[in-house]
Amino acid sequence: MARLPRLSFAGLPHHVIQRGHNGQPIFLQTADYQLMLDLLLEYARKFQVAVHAYVLLPNHIHLLLSPEAVNGLPLMLQSVGRRYVRYFNDQQGRSGTLWDGRYRCTVMQPERFVLPCMSYMDLNPVRAGLSDSAADYAWSSHGHYIGRRVDRLVTPHAQFWGLGNTPFAREDAYAQLVQAGTDASQQSVLTDATLKGWALGDAAFVQALQKDSPRRLVKGRAGRPVRALLKPQ
């Protein structure tokens, strides 16, 4: 079966996962993490893609991105991936692929999924046993959102601005949201949709997107009614 084209819609948030080949590490030292952040900033600006959130883990990365143009997201990710592989291979004296195939991606309905996705991303280091709390992990955007540092890479989504009328109120509300965590069903839906390339949203959202997409956006036979994928908790 032919692979479905990856999703990319202008002005909407996309959750992206890129894994190392066979689960191998893609970051081995501090300089590796820092270069990845530098490349994300460089190419996000070049291709006009807003980076709402990120987490860099030893063997994979998560990104929450909104491109201004349809081709902005793939152009950014291809450029970052190629530059980083050249650097990593040179540093490690290796050759060949670093990535486990293509990046995986889903587009999501902002009001239903942006904040749960950010929380899910921030808690990945905790679930992986890399940190006791999201706030203690250095290689994510969480510190920016709770007011511990200013991250030039991050462009907050409108859903974050809606958490409060002042910076302190937003930071406190977001910290509480992450502390509350994401339940197993939310984690499963976010991961499954991203890895399989299906759109995340209610029926009306997906049906509106389908008008502008030549490929199916949800699992199932062509012509089947679109089902809402997840009710907010």
Q: Report whether pLDDT(229) > 70.
A: no
- pLDDT the model gives residue 39: 98
Closest to 108 measured CA to CA, from 215, 232, 202, 223: 202
Confirm whether 131 is domain-assigned.
yes
Within the chain, how many helices (H) and strands (E) appear?
9, 4
Q: Report whether pLDDT(223) > 70.
A: no
Q: What is the pTM of this model?
A: 0.90
Confirm whether 233 is domain-assigned.
no
- pLDDT the model gives residue 4: 60
- pLDDT the model gives residue 106: 94
* Spatial distance between the Cα atoms of 191 and 185, rounded to a whole number of angstroms: 10
**N-terminal to C-terminal alpha carbon distance within the chain:** 35
Which residue range(s) make up the domain with 121? 14-210
Confirm whether 118 is domain-assigned.
yes
CATH code of residue 155: 3.30.70.1290
Confirm whether 133 is domain-assigned.
yes
- pLDDT the model gives residue 105: 94
Confirm whether 204 is domain-assigned.
yes
Count up the domains in the chain and report the number: 1
User: Residue 135's CB: how many other CB atoms inside 10 A?
Assistant: 17
Confirm whether 151 is domain-assigned.
yes
Type of residue found at 12: L
Kindly give, in sequence order, each residue whose CB lies less than 8 Å from that of residue 42, ignoring residues fewer than 6 positions away: none
Confirm whether 155 is domain-assigned.
yes
- pLDDT the model gives residue 100: 93
Tell me the pLDDT tens digit for each residue of 3-21: 667 788 999 999 999 999 9
Q: Report whether pLDDT(159) > 60.
A: yes
Out of 18-22, 49-53, 206-210, least confident range: 206-210
Kindly give, in sequence order, each residue whose CB lies less than 8 Å from that of residue 150, ignoring residues fewer than 6 positions away: 144
Confirm whether 93 is domain-assigned.
yes
* Spatial distance between the Cα atoms of 159 and 202, rounded to a whole number of angstroms: 17
